[in-house]
Structure 1
C-alpha cells in the first residue's frame, strides 16, 4: 500500500472507501471503510485505525477540505524506504510490543530466576484470567511477592495496567517497594500523609498511579476510603489478605464487617483485576472462609454457608501449593530437609531457687489481678496480668533479663510509693480534711489507684498478636508501653500492700543478682556448646556457617551479644536486630550478615524478624520459645525458604522440670512424633492456626504457671496438648480433603515445556542491545563501552528526556547514567557501581523506542527491499509482513483476551510460512551493483499487487480463528462451572429468603413481629434474583469473542541474492552446489552427535532465523545449535547479526557447532562445539554479518556436550 500525499482539495464527493486519510483522527492515518450520506452536505464516515479499531465521524465539505489522502488500500507499498531505517523501526515496534512477541518478557527483563510453581502461577493461573479474581495461597516462603511482581510487570508491558495499588501490612510496605524496584524495575510509591496534604483537595489516589498502601492506614480512615471508592484500578493486590476476614453475627445472615473487610470489598468493586495473597486462607471455619472468598466472587459465596445446601468448591478462584510439593526445574524438592531438636537443660540450684521464688510471686499476684478484674476494674487486672506474664517469660529467658526487669520494677514502684507518701504529706499540710482520712490512706483502709489509669491498656494477647501491620515507630512505641506496664502495673491497692510487694521485689532482686554474679547460666552453657560444635565447622565450600538466634527480650539480646562476642573472640562476629532497629539499619545488618564472612551470628527478636528472609543461614536457635506456636514455624521459615540449599537445623531450648518447660517439652515431643509419622514430609505439623483453637497455648502456659505443681493439672494439660496438635493436623488434612481443588499438583513437564518454548523468543539481552545502541546514537545520545557488557551514558538528548516525560511523568529519564547493561548478571558486580538494566519497561528504552517510531515508523508502511544472501535462500522473491492480531470479548470494557505479532512470508504461489523470529534480521540491503535488478523485480506484476487482503485472510484463518476456538473452549468450560455455582448459590439463597418471607408473613398475620420483617426477606429475595440475571449476562459477554481485523504493520520485498547476479558463471554454480553439500554433511554430523549424547535433535526449516538445530535433552531442556561447515583448511566463516544476537539471548543453552568437512569422506569429518561463542561481539541492528577467523573459534571448541 503506497503512502503518498496529494495537494488536491478534498470534498465529500472525492472521498471513497479504501482511502488512507490524515486529519480525520488527530495524529493518526486511518482507512475509510464506508461513507454514508445522511443529509445535504453531511456524511457519516466509518474508518479503521492502524490498531484495527473502528470508529465513525459526521463530516461536512469544510471538514473534508482539511483532510489529506495518504494512500490507497488497494495499492501496494512502494518498497523504497531505506533498509536500515526500516529494520530499526521494525525492531522498535517489536520491542515496544515485547509482550506480544516474547511470551515471558517479564521473566527475561527482571532480576529474578523464577521457579516452576511461580511460572505456573503467573502464566497459567493469573494472566489467562481476564478479568482476574484470584487468591494465591501458597505456603510461606514460596515467593508470592515474586509472582505478583511478574504478573504486574507482564500486564504493564502488555499495556493492560497503568494504575495499580498494593495493600499490605504496614511492616511490609517498604519491603514491597524494594522488591518491585530492585527485581522488576517497577517504581511504586508508598502512600503517605504528605501525599494527602499535597493533593490540596484533589483525590489523592487519582494523582498517583502506582501505589503501595498500609492496610490499616486506609481501612481506619473514612476520608481515605471515600476517596478510594471514587477511583478505579487496573490491578489491586492485597498481601496478608486473611486480615480482611469477617464473621457472621447472627442466623439471619448479618455480617460483622471489619474495617479491613470493608476495604477488601471496596477494592474488589473498584479494581478490574483483584489478587489476594495469604499463606493462611482457611482458619478452620468454613462459613468464615466462604465469607472471605466472597471478596472475589460475591455471587458464588452469597449468604451464610449451610452444610448440605452450599458447595465448598473454589475452583478457578484460588491456588494453594504447600512446601512439600514444590520442585526445582530438575525435579528436586525445592525446600531442603529440616530437623528440629529439643535441648533440655537442668537449672543450677541457685537458678532453681530464683525460679521458684519468682514463680511464687507471679502466681500470688496473678490471683490478686484476677480478683481485681472480677471486681470490675478489667483494665487494671489485664495490665497486671500482662506485666506478670512478661516477668515469667523473662525469668525463663536469661538471668540478665529477669534481674533487669526486677530491678526496674522495684525501683519504679519504690519511686511511686515515695510519690504517694509525699502527696499524702502535702495533702495533710494543706487540706482541710480530717487527720483520720489521711490515716485511712496510710493504713490501707482506703484503696489507692497508684497511677494505673495513666498506663496504656495491654493484655497478654497483645504480646503475641503484635504483627507486620506495625511500622518502626509503632514497634518502638509498643516496646516502651510494655516496659511501662511491666515496671508499674501492680495489684497493690493500698500503701501497706505496695510496701509489702516492694519488700518481696527487693528479696527477688538480691537473689537474681546473686545468680547473675555467679555466672552459672546453664542455658548459656548449652547454647555455647551448640555454637562451638556448629560454627567451628565450615560448609562444603569452606565458608563459615552462620546461625540465627531468636530471643523475645532486649535484655537477653544484649546479654547474649556480649557473651557470644567474647566466646568467638570478635565483636564483629555478632550482629543484632530488634524492634527498635530502624528499617535502614535493619537492611544494613541483613547485608552484613549475608555477605560478611566474619559476621556469623544474628541475634533477633520476633518484632525484628517480620519480613526478614535469611537463607544465608541454615542453623537457628530458639533461645526463647514463643507462646504462640505458629511463631515457631514463622521463625523457622526465615531460613527454610526458597534459595536454601542446606539441611536446616533448629534447636529449641527448654528448662527441664519447670512449669512452662514441661508444657513446651510435651508440645515439641508431640510435634516430633507427628513429623516422624509422616516421614518428615509434612513440614508444618500444627497447620495454619488450626491447632489450639479451643484453648490457646498461652492460656495453657499461664495455667501451668499457676497450677502446674498439681498432678491432676499437669495430666490435664498433657491431654490438651496432645489433642490440640492432633486436631491441628487433622484440620489441615481435613481442609485438603474438603477443598482438593485448591491444592494444586505441579506438572513439571508442562511448565518446563512452556519455559523452553518461550526461550526461543527471548529478546534480552542480545536483541535489546543491538537495537538500543544504534537507535540511541542516531537520536544524538552518547554512549561509551566500559567494563565487559557495561556502558556509560554521558548524554541523554533533550528530545529523549522530553519524550519520556510525555509518556510517563512518574518515570523520568536521567541526563546521564554512570552504568547501564543489558545483562542481568552484570547489574551488581563486586567492587563496581551498580548498573541500570536496559530492558522492556525501562523508561529510557521506552523513550528511545517512541522517538524512533516517531521518526522512522512511516518506513514500515512504505516498505523496503531486502536481500537474502544466506546459503539456504529461496529460489524466488517473497513478501515479508508484520501482522498484529487481537481477540476481544464483548464485555462492557471489551477486554483483550489475546494479542499477537506474527511475521508471515508470502511466496509467489500463495504459500505462507511463519517465522519464529523476525526474518528481516537475517537479510541485507541491496548494494550499488544490484540497483537495476532490484528495480526490475520490484516493478514486476507480482510485487506491485496489494497482497494485504490475502495476508489478513491468512491471519484470520490460521491465527485468529484457531486461537479464538482454543480460548473459547477454555472460557466456556470455566464459565459453565462458574454459571452452575452462581445459579446453585443464588437460587438457594433466593429460595431461602422466599421461605423466610412466607414464614414471617404468617407470623405477622398472627400478630407476632420479630426483628426481621417479612418485607425485608422479600426484598432480599428480589435483589438476589436481579443479581443472578445480571451475573449470567456478564458471563455470556465474557465468553462471546470477536476477532479484531488483523493489522499489517509493515511489509518488505525479499529478493534472493542469486536473482540479482546478471550472469551466473558455471564455476559459481558448482561452488554453490559444493557449499550446499558441505553444509549438509555438517548438519548430519551434528545430528548424529546429538543423538549420541542422548538428546532428540530437530533440524529447523531453511528459513528459520537464528539457529539450525533444536535439541532436547532427557530432562526437557532445549539446546540451540548453529552449524557452520567448511572444507578443511578454510580460513573464515560468516555469521549473521541475527545468529549472534540469538546466541547471546540463549547463554549456555547455545552451541556453535564447527564441522571440518574432510575431502576423504564423512568418516574423517571433525566436529567441535563452542559454548558462549559470541559474548565478545557487539552486534548492531544496522550490520548484517561478520566474517570470523575459523581457527580462533576452532581452538576454543571442544567435544560435543
Structure 2
C-alpha cells in the first residue's frame, strides 16, 4: 500500500487517542497488546470497573475459573498505557508469584514482590519507600500491606487491586484489624476487588466490601442493618430490587453457565493410592510425634514453635530423606547451645527455608503468632535436659537415615502407570506433575523414578532451580530464544519459562516443590500427583489449578496417597475430599466452599493443633468431627437465593451483551492492528523487510529501541520473533514521532479505481477535488478525551463529514506539490470546524451530565441512609421510654415508682439531646453532601484545547 505522511499522522492519532471510559475502544490497545484469548465477559468486566470516570472502583465477582485476574490485568494494562503507573496489587502470600508471572507473560508488565527481604534491600539501595516504584507494579501480601500501612499512605496510587477480597468482607467488625487497616490506608484511591464470593453468610459482608470501594454508597452500619438486614424475610417487598439497584454501579458477576459458548470446561477425577508404612517408618513417625507434643522443646524457638512444629510434621510426612537432615541440624543446634550457651534461631530458619520452600510464605501468613522472647540463659538442670534432647534428636536422625525404602515412594510407580493409562484413554499427552513440599524428597523421587524407566524424562522445578539439569535446560533455551520476547532478561523468570517449555516439549514428568504451584500454567499436563498433601485447601486447589484451568482439553486426573497406619491422615483426606470437593467434578473446590474461609491458613492451624494435642485415635476422631461440624456452619447454601437475586442477571440479557462486546472488540482489535501494521511498514520501509502474509518483519539495521531481528504483529506468536505491539518501545517511538510531526500543506491524490475495497460513500467524490482539514480536540472535565474533528470541502462547496474523511485513509495515495489554502475556503472551513467542535463539546457535556446524575443519586441515598440511622436511634429511645413508663405504672412500691420515673426523665432528657443532635447531624450531612457536590462540580468544568493535525488538498481518481 502506498501511504503518505497524512496517513501516518492519522493512524498515530487513532492509536494514541484517549477515549471515554465507557467505550470498548478504551481497552483497544490493551486488547491488542495482551497475550490472552479474547473472552467477551472479561472485556465487559474490565470496562465495568471504571465505566464512570467518577467511579472509585468495582467488585469483580465472577464465578471461579472465569479469569478475574485477566479482567484486572486489562484495566491495569490500560492504566499503564495512560502513564498512570502507581499500581499496587495485594494478594494472599501464595498468589504473589502468580501475579508476578501473569503480568509478565500476558501483559508485558514488570512487577516487584515486596516482602521483608526485598523491602529492606530496596531501603539499603536508597529507596526510602520501596512501594514507590518507577515502571514496576508493586505486589505484596495482606499481612505485609497491613504492617507497612504508613508507607502505603505516602503513595498516590492510580490503582489498587485486591485479590481474594472476601478476606475483607468482615471489615465492619471491630476485631478485623487487617481489613480495617487496609480500608483506612487505601481509602482515597481507586480499587478493584476480586472475589468469587462477595456474599457468603450475611448481607453485611456485601456492606463491608462495598464500603472498602466507596464509603458513600451506603450510610453507616446501623442504617444498613435498619434497611436491609431482614431483606431475606421479605422477599416480595421490593427491598431486594432497591438494594440490587444500589449495588449495580459497583458489583459485576458473571456465571460459568453464561459463558459456555465461549469457554469449555473439563472435569477432574480422583485416584487414591493407599500405602502401609514399614515398621521402621511408623516407629519414626510415632517417636517424632511424641517428641513434638512435649510441653517444652529446647530445639525450637519459643516464639515460632507452632510454625516450626507444622513444618517438621510436613517434612516427616514427606519422606525419611526430607526429615533426616533437619534432625541433624537440630542436634547440632543444641550441641552448639551447650558449647556457646546461647541460641541461634535464625540459622535454623535458614535451614528450614532451604529445604521446605514454603517456609517464608507460611511465616508470612502465620505472623500473628504470639512473640515469646527466646531464652538466652539456662540453669544446670536445663543444660542437662538440652543434652538429653540433643541425643534424642541424633537417634531420630540415625533412624531416618537407616530407612532407605519409603513405602509411599514405592507406591508412586504404580500410581504413575495408572495415571498415564487413564490419560492415554482420554487422548491426553503422557505428562504428570508431582508435587512435594521438600527439596530432599524431590531429589529422592528423581532418583527413584530414573531407576524405574523414566531416566532422561524428568525435569525438576523448585525455588532455586540450581541443579545441573535445570541449568543445562536454561542455557539451551536462552540460545534458542535470544532473538525473541521470550527471553525477558530476568534469570528467574526465564529459568521458569525454560523448565516449563522443556516439560511441555520433551520431559514426561515434572517433580516440583510448592514453587510450581505459583504462577505457571500447565494446561498441556493432565495428571496431578499430590505426593505430599498440604493441609490448606486453597493450596491444593492452586496446585490442581495449574493444570485444571481454561485451555485444558482433557479431564485432569488427581492422584493422592493415604497412610493407612495414621488415623489423623485419613481424617484429613476425608475432610479435604468430602467437605471441600477438591479432587473431583468440573470445578473442584467450589468458590462457595473456599470462599467460606477467609484464609485456608485457618484450617491448616486447626489441623496442626489436632496433630499436636491429640494422642489417641478416639481424641483424633472427636476433634475432626468437631472441625467438620464447624465447617458445616460456614459452608452453607443459605445465602444462595439472596446472592442470585442481588448479583446475577438474566441469562439472555447477559448473552446478548457478550455477543455485542465480542463483535465490537474484534472489530477494534482488527482496526488497531491494521493501523499499527501500516504505520510501521511506512516508517520502517528503509530499515526492514515485511512479510504481509504473516504480519511479520525483519529489521536489517540497528534502530533505537529495537534490536536487529524478527518481529510479529498479533496474538499468535511464532518462535524467534519479538511481539510487536502498541506499547512496544519501537511502536511507541514511531507513534510519538508522527504525533509530534508538523506536516506541510500539499496536494494528495487518492486512488479509488484500483482499490480492492468498495467504499460506496466515496464513489460520488470520484474525479473531484477539494480540501480536508483535521484537528485533535482535547476535552478535559471528569476525564481527558480526544475527539477527531475533520472537515472536508469539495470544489463545488459540498461538505464531507468527519467519519467519511477517515475513509480516505483506506486508499493508496501519492503526494503532489505544495499548496496554500485560499482565504475564502479557509474561512468556510474554520467556521465548520468551530461548529463540529461545539457539537463534540455538547456530546461530552451530555455524557458527563449522566455521570453527574449517578454520583448525585448516590450522595442522596447516602444522606438518606445517615438520617435513617439517626432516626433509628430516636425510635429505640422512644421504645425504651415507653417500656420504663409501663414498668413505673405497674409498680406498687412508691420508692420504686419514683426511681422508675426518674429513669424516664433521664431518658427523656437524653432523647431531647439526641433530637437536637439529630438536627445538627442532618445539617452536617447536608454540608458533607454539599462539599462532595462541590468537588464533583469542580471536575465537571470543561477545559478544551484544539490542535491542528494537518490540512491538504485532495483529489480522488
TM bin (shorter chain): 0.7 to 0.9
Supply the distance in 2 between the matched residues of 1:875 and 1:693 (Cα, whole angstroms).
69
Contact 2:564 2:570 in 1 (8 A): yes
1:1027 is aligned to 2:932: no
1:106 to 14, 20, 30: 30
Unaligned runs of 5+ in 2: 230-242, 468-489, 882-901
Q: 2:462 aligns with which of 572, 577, 582?
A: 577
Give 2:781's aligned residue: 894
Alpha-carbon distance in structure 1 between the residues aligned to 2:71 and 2:391:
59
1:647 counterpart (530, 555, 563): 555
Q: How does 1:7-22 map to 2 (within 5 A)?
A: none
Q: CA RMSD of the aligned region, Å?
A: 5.6
Residue 1154 of structure 1 corresponds to which residue in structure 2? none
Q: 2:828 aligns with which of 946, 952, 974?
A: 946
Partner of 1:166: 88
Counterpart contact for 2:163–2:194, Cα < 8 Å: yes
Bigger share in helix: 2
> Counterparts of 1:983 and 1:897 in 2: how far apart (Å)?
30
- Is 1:835 paired with 2:756? no
Q: 2:408 corresponds to which residue?
A: 523
- TM superposition shift of 1:730: 0.8
1:923 CA drift (Å): 4.6
Contact 1:337 1:647 in 2 (8 A): yes
| Aligned twin of 1:274 | 191
Structure 2 counterpart of 1:621: 529
C-alpha distance in 2 between matches for 1:623 and 1:1016 = 68
TM normalised by structure 2 equals 0.73
Which of 392, 417, 442 is 1:557 aligned to?
442
Residue 93 of structure 1 pairs with residue 37 of structure 2: no
For residues 437-496 of structure 1, the C-alpha deviation after alignment (integer angstroms, 9 at most, x for no partner) is xxxxxxxxxxxxx859999899x9xx999799799xx99x99xxx9xx9xx999997456
TM-score, length basis structure 1:
0.60
TM superposition shift of 1:946: 1.5
Q: Is the 8 A contact 1:990 1:1025 kept in 2?
A: no
Which residues of 2 match residues 599-638 of structure 1 at below 5 A? 599-606=507-514, 609-638=517-546
**1:588: how far off?**
1.7
Distance 1:405 1:276, change over 3 A: same
SS in 1 for 2:259: coil
Higher mean C-alpha displacement, 717-726 vs 112-121: 717-726
Deviation at 1:85, TM superposition (A): 3.9
Contact 2:131 2:152 in 1 (8 A): no
Rg larger for: 1
Question: Hey, what's the Cα distance between the residues in 2 that align with 1:489 and 1:321?
Answer: 59
The answer to which structure, 1 or 2, has the higher relative contact order (CA under 8 A, 6+ apart) is: 2
The answer as to whether partners of 2:558 and 2:583 remain within 8 angstroms in 1 is no
| Alignment partner, residue 479 of structure 2 | none
Cα pair distance change 1:906/1:469, threshold 3 Å? farther
5+ residue gaps, structure 1, are 1-81, 424-449, 798-812, 1058-1201
**Alignment partners' CA distance in 2, 1:886 and 1:545:** 59
- After superposition, give the CA deviation of every residue in 1:905-948 in whole Å (9 maximum; x if it has no partner): 678796866758922234565899xx9xx99xx9999x787155
Equivalent in the alignment of 1:315: 247
Structure 1 pair 193–601 and aligned structure 2 pair: CA distance change class (3 A)? same
CA distance in 2, matches of 1:591, 1:508: 39
Whether the 8 Å CA contact 2:216–2:858 is kept in 1: the answer is: no
**Residue aligning to 2:484:** none
Seen in structure 2, the aligned counterparts of structure 1 residues 99 and 354 have a Cα distance that, compared at 3 Å, is same
Matched, 1:154 2:78: yes
Deviation at 1:297, TM superposition (A): 0.7
123-132 or 494-503, larger mean C-alpha shift: 494-503
**Residues 1027, 612 of structure 1: CA spacing in aligned structure 2 closer, same or farther, 3 A cutoff?**
farther
* Partner residue, 1:396: 317
Matches within 5 A, 1:427-466: 451=343
Q: Do the aligned partners of residues 659 and 730 (structure 1) sit closer, same or farther apart at CA in structure 2, a change above 3 Å counting?
A: same
> Contact (CA 8 Å) 2:688, 2:700: kept in 1 or not?
yes
Matched residues in 2 for 1:645 and 1:964: separation? 49
| Count of aligned positions | 862
Higher deviation after alignment, 100-109 or 686-695: 686-695
Equivalent in 704, 708, 711 of residue 818 of structure 1 = 708
CA distance in 2, matches of 1:818, 1:976: 55
Judged with a 3 Å threshold, the aligned counterparts in structure 2 of structure 1 residues 454 and 963 are, in CA distance, closer, same or farther, namely closer
CA distance in 1, matches of 2:160, 2:598: 32
Deviations 1:718-771, CA, capped at 9 Å, x for gaps: 54354345334316x626725754456772442232232343443444332322
Which residue is 1:134 aligned to? Answer: 58
Distance (Å, rounded) in 2 between the aligned partners of 1:354 and 1:470: 25
Q: 1:857 to 1:266 in 2, by over 3 A?
A: farther
Counterpart for residue 985 of structure 1: 865
Change (3 A) 1:630 1:233: closer
Query: Which of the residues 651, 654, 660 maps onto 1:753?
Result: 660
The answer as to 2:734 corresponding to 1:734 is: no
Distance of aligned partners of 1:755 and 1:698 in 2 relative to their CA distance in 1, 3 Å threshold: same
Distance 1:513 1:87 in 2: 75
State the 1:592 CA deviation. 1.9
Whether the 8 Å CA contact 1:149–1:180 is kept in 2: the answer is yes
Report if the CA contact (8 A) 1:336-1:646 is conserved.
yes
Instruction: Answer whether contact 2:191 2:213 (CA < 8 A) is retained.
Output: yes
**Pair 685,124 (structure 1): closer, same or farther in 2 beyond 3 Å:** closer
Native 8 Å contact 2:749 2:954 kept in 1:
yes
What is the CA–CA distance in structure 2 between the aligned matches of 1:207 and 1:382, rounded to whole Å?
Answer: 34
Distance 1:327-1:491 versus aligned 2 partners, 3 A rule: farther
CA–CA separation in structure 2 for the residues paired with 1:752 and 1:243: 33
Kindly tell me: are residues 530 and 208 of structure 1, through their superposed partners in 2, closer, same or farther at Cα, counting changes over 3 Å?
A: same
In structure 2, distance between residues paired with 1:847 and 1:172? 35
Report the counterpart of residue 45 of structure 2 in structure 1. Answer: 121
Which of 341, 351, 368 is 2:295 aligned to?
A: 368
The whole-number CA distance in structure 2 between the counterparts of 1:704 and 1:668 is 16
1:918 aligns with 2:806: yes
Among 217, 242, 246, the alignment partner of 1:300 is 217
How far apart in 2 are the matches of 1:1052 and 1:217?
A: 59
Deviation at 1:106, TM superposition (A): 2.2
1:783 aligns with 2:688: yes
Q: Could you tell me how far apart the structure 2 residues matched to 1:220 and 1:978 are?
A: 33
- Deviations along 1:603-637, whole A, 9 cap, x unmatched? 33335533343333222122222222332222222
> Do the aligned residues in 1 keep the contact of 2:33 with 2:726 (CA within 8 Å)?
yes
Q: Distance in 2 between matches of 1:416 and 1:995?
A: 70
TM superposition shift of 1:575 = 0.8
The residue number in structure 2 matching 1:664 is 572
Indicate the SS of the match to 2:415.
helix
Which residue pairs with 2:735 in the alignment? 849
Establish whether residue 337 from structure 1 lines up as the match of residue 246 from structure 2: no
1:546 aligned onto 2:431? yes
Change (3 A) 1:842 1:994: farther
Q: Match of 1:548, SS?
A: strand
SS in 1 for 2:272: strand
Distance 1:984 1:756 in 2: 42
Q: 1:387 to 1:108 in 2, by over 3 A?
A: closer
Distance apart, 1:796 and its partner CA: 6.4
- Give the C-alpha shift of residue 178 in structure 1: 5.5
Aligned to 1:27: none
- Farther-moved stretch of structure 1 (90-99 vs 644-653): 90-99
Counterpart Cα distance in 2 of 1:898 and 1:573: 54
Give the CA deviation at 1:866. Answer: 4.5
1:493-526 residue CA offsets vs partner (Å, 9 max, x unmatched): 7456556656665665565555x24x2x332233
Q: Distance in 1 between matches of 2:622 and 2:330?
A: 34
1:869 match: 753
3-state SS of paired residue (1:603): strand
